[in-house]
Structure 1
Amino acid sequence: MTNPSKAKGTRWESETRDFLNDRGFTVRRVVQMGNKDQGDLHGYPLHIIEAKNEKTIRLPEYIRQAEREAINAGQPFGVAFVKRPRASTGDGYAVRSIATDTRLIARMRDMEDALKAAAPAAWALIDKQYREAT
């Protein structure tokens, strides 16, 4: 007999993977690694994803776990993708600490500045593509 909580978590991991892959990423589920766990999903650029589908949402625990597992996996950023009750996958929550978010946005800003200086036309096309919130 399978553990219902484990099955629920596996289902959320698979739904999240499929959602991201449908949007052009190449994300895969990974096996648990014990005390050197490297997160649930890999292939989301610069991140590991810790997928959580629990009745009681415990953000501090999820953020600590995602950040620890990002270090274990050699990635700069960890994020917890948390299932929102009775909502679609895309309406779930992406959760990270403010410190991690600040590092991510600073990196993005610096990369954008570098691209804009090196290839302004390419920068303009990418900027236009992602300008509006969807």
Structure 2
Amino acid sequence: MSEAKRKGTAWESAIVTYLHEHHNPATRRNVQMGAKDIGDIDGYFLHALEAKAEKTITLADYIRQANREAIHAGQPFGCAVVKRRMKGVADGYVVRDVRTDVRLMNRMRDMEEALRSAAPAAYELLDKQHREAA
């Protein structure tokens, strides 16, 4: 295995471990699908996730790839998780284009408004919990 491949695999594994602990215990690495690749990691809610641990960062390529793989995976959003040199997963970068981010924020806004209307007490509890987490 090449050094670049080894580093990429280690980065993907580190992301999966982090997501198991902080997001979704069912997160897993995907098997590569060639032309119909569905992203490197499955289980990041609503996203096809493309993991990148490269010395030279090329955001446009990462986003194009993540968006294409989101379509293949049947997910509404694509993002790249980019390793920050000499840092762990929590200090990495989640990157998406503005178009995708606005779609995500609109969805979150609409879902929060729906929850606030349907179950105000649940909304208040969740809002408090997530504000404290920041």
In the superposition, the TM-score normalised over structure 2's length comes to 0.96
Uncovered stretches (5+) of structure 1, i.e. residues with no partner: none
Post-superposition offset of 1:9: 0.3
Matched to 2:41, the amino acid is L
Contact 2:23 2:44 in 1 (8 A): no
> How many pairs does the alignment contain?
133
| Corresponding residue of 2:18 | 19
Q: Deviations over 1:65-113 (max 9, x none)?
A: 0000000000000010000001111000000000000000000000000
Uncovered stretches (5+) of structure 2, i.e. residues with no partner: none
Change (3 A) 1:100 1:24: closer
Post-superposition offset of 1:133: 5.6
Task: Give the SS at the match of 1:56.
Answer: coil
Q: CA RMSD in A?
A: 0.9
| Corresponding residue of 2:121 | 121
| Corresponding residue of 1:4 | 3
Measured in 1, the distance between the counterparts of 2:23 and 2:84 equals 23
| Corresponding residue of 1:55 | 55
Q: Deviations over 1:15-43 (max 9, x none)?
A: 00101111141211001100110000011
Note the 1:57-76 alignment, pairs <5 A: 57-76=57-76
Note the 1:89-104 alignment, pairs <5 A: 89-104=89-104
Measured in 2, the distance between the counterparts of 1:78 and 1:27 equals 16
Task: Give the SS at the match of 2:80.
Answer: strand
Measured in 1, the distance between the counterparts of 2:107 and 2:129 equals 19
Measured in 2, the distance between the counterparts of 1:112 and 1:121 equals 12
Q: How high is the sequence identity, in percent, across the aligned residues?
A: 59
